[in-house]
């Protein structure tokens, strides 16, 4: 009898990553910035390795969170 191969992990795409992060934001009540860091910590990933999965919308949400937490200087806004 041959051993059953381990299931392959689901490939992460920018869309799938956004869904995972949004779910963490909703269920754990984290900011997008915190959710990304939490995801990295839980999956033993360095933050710089996930940049390929961050789309423009997610990048804007993370930037907004970082500005609100004073990690980045606030950018000018028309609103």
| pLDDT value of position 72 | 84
The reported pTM is 0.76
| pLDDT value of position 74 | 84
Range of the domain at 35: 14-68
Report pLDDT digits (tens) over 20-36: 999 999 999 999 999 99
Number of domains in the chain: 1
Q: Is residue 51 part of a domain?
A: yes
Model confidence band, residue 40 (pLDDT cutoffs 50, 70, 90) = very high
| pLDDT value of position 78 | 56
**pLDDT(4) > 70:** no
Q: Is residue 46 part of a domain?
A: yes
Residue 42, exposed/middle/buried by CB under 10 A (0-12, 13-18, 19+)?
A: exposed
């Amino acid at each position: 009898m041959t051993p059953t191969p381990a299931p392959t992990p689901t490939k992460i795409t920018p869309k799938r990553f956004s869904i995972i992060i949004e779910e963490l934001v909703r269920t754990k009540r984290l900011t997008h910035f915190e959710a990304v860091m939490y995801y990295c910590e839980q999956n033993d990933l360095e933050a710089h390795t996930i940049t390929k999965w961050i789309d423009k919308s997610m990048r804007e949400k993370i930037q907004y969170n970082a500005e609100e937490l004073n990690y980045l200087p606030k950018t000018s806004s028309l609103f």
